[in-house]
Amino acid sequence: MPEYKGTLEEKDWQNLLRSIKKGRCTPFIGAGACFGSLPLGRDIARDWAKKYGYPLADSEDLARVAQFMAIDQYAMFPKECIRDDFQNIKPPDFSQSDEPHGLLADLNLPIYITTNYDNFMVNALRNRKKAPEREFCRWNRLDEVLDIKSVLDSSSSYKPTPDTPLVYHLHGHIEIPQSIVLTESDYLDFLIRLQHHDDDPLLPPEIISALTANPLLFLGYSLSDWNFRVLFRGLLSSLSNLGYFTVAVQLPPDDLTGEELKRALNYLDQYYANIQHIKVRVYWGNAQQFAKELRERWETFKDAK
């Protein structure tokens, strides 16, 4: 059995760094990038389950608890709750070397894609004297969402650049609760819309290009999250990434040690390797560990000839 490695191979680091230097890398930001600033999804779910009387045993599943709240109360109720919970959250310290948003802002990339609802990536870019634009996915076709003009509208002159980057919220934004993907029904509706991209594209051309014509960097996700695994396959397999590699920063299973952990990680490596058309390199660790190592490598690489 091959030995478990906690980091990428040197050639993978070099490929990633070269892509970043060319401005040809698309970060994909998940909840783990906000660790320490925002509560974990399972903690929110557990609190809501207790507060609102969720009757089933899976009280750490946020999508299922939110679905119960939407049925027991009203459809927008869990989205209003998540908006209220986020209102007084203190943002991360973007000056820290291992803070993921600050690190990503320093890479001078034109497009950042996130499944998070928060404003951290926009704030990190502003902290670096950038002028970012924010956009979100119009997945549910509600009038309250469709009436908001898109910065990517065909009549707009805006083009994402490193100085005026775009932060694209795939699962909605906290300031527009109607845009949020939160309940089980939301996730199903989102994936159904995603699979009908040929006759009615869900994503704007700029985002499709960022996903299919660049190496991707998934930061802040966990393979144990079924929603992420469905999204990963549903999104990328439907768009057919054109031979570019993907780096996925993944938390190793936290309930295994020793030989069991090695076996689990080897299986999960094979899981990624078997996804058609997508060449995935996995960094086993948290977003902060990866951010610290990438920053150190980037500081050396960016000025090298």
Q: What is the pLDDT of residues 262-292, one digit of tens each?
A: 776 677 667 666 655 566 788 888 999 999 9
User: Are 143 and 88 a contacting pair, CB within 8 Å?
Assistant: no
Claim to verify: residue 47 and residue 30 sit in the same structural domain: no
Residue 231 identity: L
Claim to verify: residue 188 and residue 274 sit in the same structural domain: yes
Q: Considering its fold, how many domains does the chain have in total?
A: 2
Claim to verify: residue 156 and residue 284 sit in the same structural domain: yes
The predicted pLDDT at position 178 comes to 94
User: Are 59 and 45 a contacting pair, CB within 8 Å?
Assistant: yes
CATH of the domain at 256: 3.40.50.1220
Claim to verify: residue 133 and residue 174 sit in the same structural domain: yes
User: Are 6 and 251 a contacting pair, CB within 8 Å?
Assistant: no
Claim to verify: residue 58 and residue 179 sit in the same structural domain: no
Report d(CA 33, CA 218) in Å as an integer.
10
Adjacency order of strands within the sheet including 245-250:
133-136, 166-169, 111-114, 26-29, 216-221, 245-250, 279-284
Query: Where are any strands of DSSP class E within 30-185?
Result: 111-114, 133-136, 166-169
Claim to verify: residue 75 and residue 50 sit in the same structural domain: yes
Q: Which tens digits make up the pLDDT trace of 90-142? A: 899 999 999 999 999 999 999 999 999 999 999 999 999 999 999 999 998 88
Could you list the residue range(s) of the whole structural domain that residue 68 is in? 39-88
Does residue 27 lie in a domain region? yes
Confidence of residue 40 (pLDDT cuts 50, 70, 90): confident
Q: Does this model's pTM top 0.85? A: yes
Confidence of residue 294 (pLDDT cuts 50, 70, 90): very high
User: Which residues are registered as beta bridge partners of 29?
Assistant: 114, 219
Claim to verify: residue 266 and residue 148 sit in the same structural domain: yes
Claim to verify: residue 224 and residue 148 sit in the same structural domain: yes
Confidence of residue 155 (pLDDT cuts 50, 70, 90): confident
User: Are 28 and 100 a contacting pair, CB within 8 Å?
Assistant: no
Report d(CA 19, CA 7) in Å as an integer.
18
User: Are 82 and 171 a contacting pair, CB within 8 Å?
Assistant: no
Does residue 123 lie in a domain region? yes
Claim to verify: residue 161 and residue 175 sit in the same structural domain: yes
pLDDT at 243 > cutoff 70: no
The predicted pLDDT at position 289 comes to 93
Does residue 148 lie in a domain region? yes
